[in-house]
Amino acid sequence: MKAVGQNIPHDSAVGHVTGEALYVDDLPPTQGEVLVDAIASPIAHGKLLGNNFDELRELPGIVGLYTVSDLPGHNRFGVIIPDECFLPEDVVEYVGQPIAVVAAENRRALRKAKQLAKLEIEELPPVFTIEEAIAARQFIGPTRTIQCGDFEAAWNEAEHRLEGVFHCNGQEQFYLESQAALVWPNEEGQILIHSSTQNPTEIQQVVAEALGLNFHDVISVCKRMGGGFGGKETQAAIPAVMAALVVRHTGRSARVAYTKDDDMRSTGKRHPFKIFYKAAFTAEGRITGVEFDLYSNGGAAADLSTSIMERALLHSDNAYHLPNACFRGTVCKTNLPPNTAFRGFGGPQGMANIENVVQEIAITLGRDAYEIRRLNCYDHGLRNTTPYGQVVQHHILPEILDRLEETSNYQERLQEIETFNRTSATELRGLALTPVKFGISFTTRFLNQGNALVNLYKDGTVQVSTGGTEMGQGLNTKIRQVVADELGIGYEQVRVMITSTEKNNNASPTAASAGTDLNGMAAANACRAIRERLAEFAAQHLSDAENGCAAESSCIHFGDGRVWDERRPNASIAFAELVKLAYLERISLGERGFYRTPGVDFNRDTGQGHPFFYYTTGAAVSEVRLDRFTGHLTLERADLLMDIGESINPGIDLGQTIGGFIQGVGWVTNEELRYSNKGDLLSYSPTTYKIPNIQDIPDTFRVDYLQNPNHQVNVRRSKAIGEPPLMLCLSVWMAVKHALSCVKPGAIPKLRLPATGEKILRCLTELDGSTSRTEEEIPLIAPSPLTTEPEPKRAAA
């Protein structure tokens, strides 16, 4: 039986339910291990004034305390722009930035040192918001543009015009396992790092560079993560360097595990965006042109911000054909922790904006938003070229929309809801159907490669290792399934081994939803090479020349743990037996497979090209209920429909679909990052930062998939599923906007994302015409206290 397509439980499922599966901080301590933590900046922007840590070094239990001068290698890092310091040289740029690394025998000593640390920092004027950064002209990288047609002409000739500003806030990844690293000294100055990272290769490189080692002196491994969601794509680096630095100075193994509070305060999140939009459209609702000016809050360093902006631009069309479009994207530099990857990687923000525009077009025209969506949706054959020049092919977007409209009873429910809203004084209901089109591939071409190592043992069992990391998404399970089928053996005969730079070098991060695509194909390629050698040998072994059956490797088949010649199927041999014989014949039983995605190419300078191998698409209908007196929001029902190709593992893909959607629902509803006017995150624990809990799941929740016979590419004709479902959440936010738009027909509710109860209430009050303080008057971050006339101040913390 084939393994691909089966509902095989997650590779580590038994370990998870018994508690045996180990994460970094579960690994038992080795003799002499020390615990490591950071002394972090309490100031968002300031100058370091000769801090003296000698007193702390003398505290009982303290093993060492290290600052930038103790770093043997270089201090700058950053995957795109090397503008970030491991430890600050003279200026701190965000609250929570590590200033010194402290190593101790036990937790108590670590806590004491952190409490007693006296930092002398002269405050400098900070910049926190996009508005402040624009005013100060503080940007990261150049403004990037994607355009097609002639927006100006479309605007001038427009039958209808719309313009406004769309805001969306950030989001904390909230992986349940916080950032962690455990570093062991090895012989001759080499080190071994266990890191909870989506990118062991980058950990290897940054640690080597920080310590002044060669890459080959550092091994970086990752068995699994307790969630990543993008937050461990680059930001696992600082904790890894902290522990490695201690190992370098003490020769003892070193462990760092952030507390959730420290993790939330000091690491980057999904980028807040502010988008200025203009749209031209016909009386019928057809969009003739758009102009979007996107600004993101990048935080204090580049990190992945420019790539995230690129993806936001590349998804500013979502599923709509825009004949004349101009998208511009600028990353703002501020004094918040460097913002970073989070599932969707800019896609959600770009798509939220166009969906909001479409919703407002509908309100302006007094039409139903779904009509406008369906009218502008990418079509087949024509009206299917994106603003960046890639043609949307082999898709079933219109079919998905039509099907969902029908299966969710959209039209009847809409009627019923609008009638309800006209009569109810206590509640409002809303409904929205939104599509998702998400491009699969890294938009940076060279990252679209993967390698895998397949080792076959004499008993016929297999170990496979890839550069991909397991963070719960089920990558290892899918790799096992693919390998089992390639070799025609049982799933149990295959094991996926720990991810290590020692086996899989120069790997790309497990990101962009491409983990299975890249690593699965690399593993399949390795298996095919082995199978070819085995087939040649088996052909000899199974031939019967006397009876006219000469050795012919193309006649050899592998399946169900056996190998046979199609001309003599009864003379089959067990796979394990064949492997043993092949070994004796000195046939190589191992292979390193390699894969690069064909055809992808995108020119950043022209903003044109073919950045995506294919698209994963889908749509969702959500129905919400709002309490008119409290603003309380209830998600009553959600129907999801996606095209995910041929699923390698339906159980895992269903989990990704539901989990991604709900994570998105958190972003658009309750997850609100609040900072003090000093740039200190106030919502830094689950006490104040509300990720969806079980009570937030809709009572009626339907998930389905639509077959797409036109999708012929990719590993086993599957499609990437990691990120796309998240953006189905936009239907929830649009449903809220729909509900609010029923208060005063024709008036556009000025709703921000997330739609917290508080914001909904404010919007309601505004629409009802009673006085309310608007969002502009109570911004998410109060204006910086020091933007005018900085008075040098000393802060002791």
Cite the active site residues: 723
658 interacts with, out of another protein, ligand FES, none, CB within 5 to 8 A per kind: another protein
Per the CB < 8 A criterion, the answer to whether 515 and 508 are in contact is no
Cβ burial of 419 (10 Å; 0-12, 13-18, 19+) is exposed
Residue with smaller CB distance to another protein, 80 or 658: 658
d(CA 761, CA 772): 10
Q: Which two tokens stand for residue 391?
A: 């043609």
Minimum gap (Å) between residue 260 Cβ and ligand FES:
7
* 692 near ligand FES, rule: CB under 6 A: no
- Among 126, 200, 227, 618, indicate the residue that binds ligand FES (CB under 6 A): 227
Which listed range, 15-23, 458-466, 497-505, 769-777, lies at the site for another protein (CB under 8 A)? 15-23
Residue with smaller CB distance to ligand FES, 12 or 504: 12
Which listed range, 161-169, 206-214, 304-312, 694-702, lies at the site for another protein (CB under 8 A)? 694-702
Residue with smaller CB distance to another protein, 126 or 515: 515
Instruction: Please spell the DSSP secondary structure of 474-529, one letter per residue.
Output: -HHHHHHHHHHHHHT--GGGEEEPPEETTTS-SPPPS-TT-HHHHHHHHHHHHHHH
Per the CB < 8 A criterion, the answer to whether 759 and 752 are in contact is yes
Q: Which two tokens stand for residue 762?
A: 């404010």
394 interacts with, out of ligand FES, another protein, none, CB within 5 to 8 A per kind: none
CB contact set of 187 (below 8 Å; sequence gap of 6+): none
- Among 98, 472, 488, 754, indicate the residue that binds ligand FES (CB under 6 A): 472
Backbone angles phi, psi at 631, to 5 degrees: 80, 0
d(CA 409, CA 399): 15
How many residues appear in the chain? 797
- Among 235, 324, 473, 543, indicate the residue that binds another protein (CB under 8 A): 473
List the Cα angle 223/228/230 in 5-degree steps.
Answer: 130
Minimum gap (Å) between residue 712 Cβ and ligand FES:
33
Minimum gap (Å) between residue 16 Cβ and ligand FES:
8
Residue with smaller CB distance to ligand FES, 174 or 345: 174
- Alpha-helical runs (H) found in 26-174: 54-57, 107-116, 130-136, 151-156
713 interacts with, out of another protein, ligand FES, none, CB within 5 to 8 A per kind: none
CA distances from 705 to 104, 440, 617, 650 (A): 53, 18, 10, 10
3-state secondary structure of 744: coil
Residue with smaller CB distance to another protein, 143 or 259: 259
- Binding footprint of another protein, residue count (CB under 8 A): 58
- Among 14, 49, 176, 778, indicate the residue that binds ligand FES (CB under 6 A): 176
Which listed range, 38-46, 116-124, 466-474, 709-717, lies at the site for another protein (CB under 8 A)? 466-474
Minimum gap (Å) between residue 562 Cβ and ligand FES:
37
Which listed range, 19-27, 204-212, 320-328, 771-779, lies at the site for another protein (CB under 8 A)? 19-27
**Minimal CB distance residue for ligand FES:** 176
Instruction: Please spell the DSSP secondary structure of 294-362, one letter per residue.
Output: EEEE-TTS-TTHHHHHHHHHHTTTTTB--SSEEEEEEEEP-SSSPP---TTTTHHHHHHHHHHHHHHHH
Q: Residues 698-717: x/- map of binding to another protein (CB under 8 A)?
A: ---x----------------
Cβ burial of 722 (10 Å; 0-12, 13-18, 19+) is buried
Can you state the angle between helices 650-668 and 730-741, rounded to 10 degrees? 40
Q: Residues 76-115: x/- map of binding to another protein (CB under 8 A)?
A: -------------------------------xx-------
12 interacts with, out of another protein, ligand FES, none, CB within 5 to 8 A per kind: another protein
Per the CB < 8 A criterion, the answer to whether 173 and 230 are in contact is yes
Q: Which two tokens stand for residue 527?
A: 């298996």
Per the CB < 8 A criterion, the answer to whether 760 and 736 are in contact is yes
* 14 near another protein, rule: CB under 8 A: yes
Residue with smaller CB distance to another protein, 66 or 258: 258
Minimum gap (Å) between residue 207 Cβ and another protein:
24
Residue with smaller CB distance to ligand FES, 227 or 722: 227
Residue with smaller CB distance to ligand FES, 227 or 467: 227
Q: How many CA atoms lie within 13 A of 151 on its CB side?
A: 18
- Among 47, 57, 160, 260, indicate the residue that binds another protein (CB under 8 A): 260
* Binding site residues, another protein, CB under 8 A: 7, 9-10, 12-23, 25-26, 28, 107-108, 173-177, 224-227, 229, 259-261, 471-474, 651-652, 654-656, 658-663, 685-687, 691-695, 697, 701
Chain residues in the site for ligand FES (CB under 6 A): 176, 227, 472
